[in-house]
């Protein structure tokens, strides 16, 4: 999965005194009008995230913002890099997250860091002004927080829980796979959705399964979780057992397809990055 980056060591601890070095990774994002799932693009140089020495010799003036640390190296965000500073003929290119995921031509740990950096980039961008009093905000020097100097309102990064669900028909040894409507490149997925206010994760599972397929489930079991920063998510994976009828009433707005598949019939996703694919693989290999 995307966050499995061993032997690299990700450290998300906030640092007051970060160290900007020539080999610090620098994250720059673009294509901000792209609002669909996985929208947005990250600056790359020769199939890597650029490092500070790539930029400072080109005259970038902005003081980068500390993000996190990888393998003892601090990583930073640059919010405003002037047009034309980073040229394509010198290897700089904005790559959409969708493209990076499909092609997988940058190192996996840099891909994961870019998704996580994008979450912080959006958090900074969406909190320039205080949501309570409208004053201009500043970054805290003590912790990873945005504070309002006028009213003291403090904003931390928001993490949005969502579930992905392997529904298993124990009697027929089948799993329910879906295809989302409106996805450009089709591949199989599972029933999934965001947790609503006042809801437990188990209730989210039951509600999403009922809404998308009309099925009833029980015996909900935790499988694992996965950060998915490009949409601020913490995905939580569950498996559960079908109760009663296996007749599917598909939500046609959400899903293009919802069908039962035997273990042998399961077609995995083109990449092994998602928790959803990990659940599908576990069923295919007889581990669910």
The residues binding Zn ion (CB under 5 A) are 130, 132-133, 135, 148, 150-151, 153
Beta carbon nearer to Zn ion, 152 or 186: 152
What is the C-alpha separation between 229 and 160, in angstroms, rounded? 10
Beta carbon nearer to Zn ion, 130 or 189: 130
CB of 120 to Zn ion, least distance (A): 21
Q: Lay out the sheet containing 154-155: strands in order across.
A: 138-139, 146-147, 154-155
CB of 128 to Zn ion, least distance (A): 12
Contacts of 285 (CB under 8 A, 6+ apart): 263
Beta carbon nearer to Zn ion, 12 or 150: 150
Beta carbon nearer to Zn ion, 151 or 159: 151
CB of 173 to Zn ion, least distance (A): 57
CB of 132 to Zn ion, least distance (A): 5
Beta carbon nearer to Zn ion, 75 or 130: 130
CB of 126 to Zn ion, least distance (A): 15
Beta carbon nearer to Zn ion, 85 or 151: 151
Beta carbon nearer to Zn ion, 151 or 181: 151
Q: What is the sign of the dihedral through the CA atoms of 98, 71, 236 and 259? A: positive
CB of 248 to Zn ion, least distance (A): 49
CB of 151 to Zn ion, least distance (A): 3
């Amino acid at each position: 999965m995307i966050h499995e980056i061993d032997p690299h060591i990700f450290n998300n601890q906030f640092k007051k005194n970060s160290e900007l070095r020539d080999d610090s990774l620098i994250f720059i994002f673009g294509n901000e009008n792209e609002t669909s799932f996985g929208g947005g693009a990250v600056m790359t140089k020769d199939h890597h995230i650029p490092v500070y020495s790539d930029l400072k010799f080109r005259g970038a003036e902005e003081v980068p913002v500390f993000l996190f640390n990888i393998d003892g190296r601090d990583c930073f965000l640059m919010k405003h890099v002037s047009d034309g500073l980073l040229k394509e003929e010198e290897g700089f290119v904005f790559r959409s997250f969708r493209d990076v995921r499909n092609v997988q031509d940058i190192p996996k740990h840099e891909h994961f860091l870019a998704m996580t950096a994008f979450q912080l980039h959006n958090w900074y961008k969406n909190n320039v002004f205080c949501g309570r009093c409208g004053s201009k905000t500043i970054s805290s020097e003590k912790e990873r927080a945005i504070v309002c100097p006028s009213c003291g309102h403090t904003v931390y990064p928001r993490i949005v829980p969502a579930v992905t669900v392997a529904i298993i028909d124990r009697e027929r040894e089948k799993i329910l796979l879906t295809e989302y409507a409106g996805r450009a490149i089709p591949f199989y997925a599972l029933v999934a959705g965001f947790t609503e206010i006042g809801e437990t994760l188990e209730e989210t599972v039951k509600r999403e399964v009922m809404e998308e397929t009309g099925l009833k489930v029980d015996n909900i079991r935790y499988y694992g979780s996965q950060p998915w920063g490009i949409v601020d998510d913490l995905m939580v994976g569950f498996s559960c057992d079908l109760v009663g009828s296996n007749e599917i009433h598909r939500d046609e707005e959400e899903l293009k397809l919802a069908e039962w598949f035997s273990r042998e019939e399961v077609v995995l996703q083109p990449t092994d990055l998602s928790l959803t694919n990990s659940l599908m693989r576990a069923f295919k290999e007889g581990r669910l």
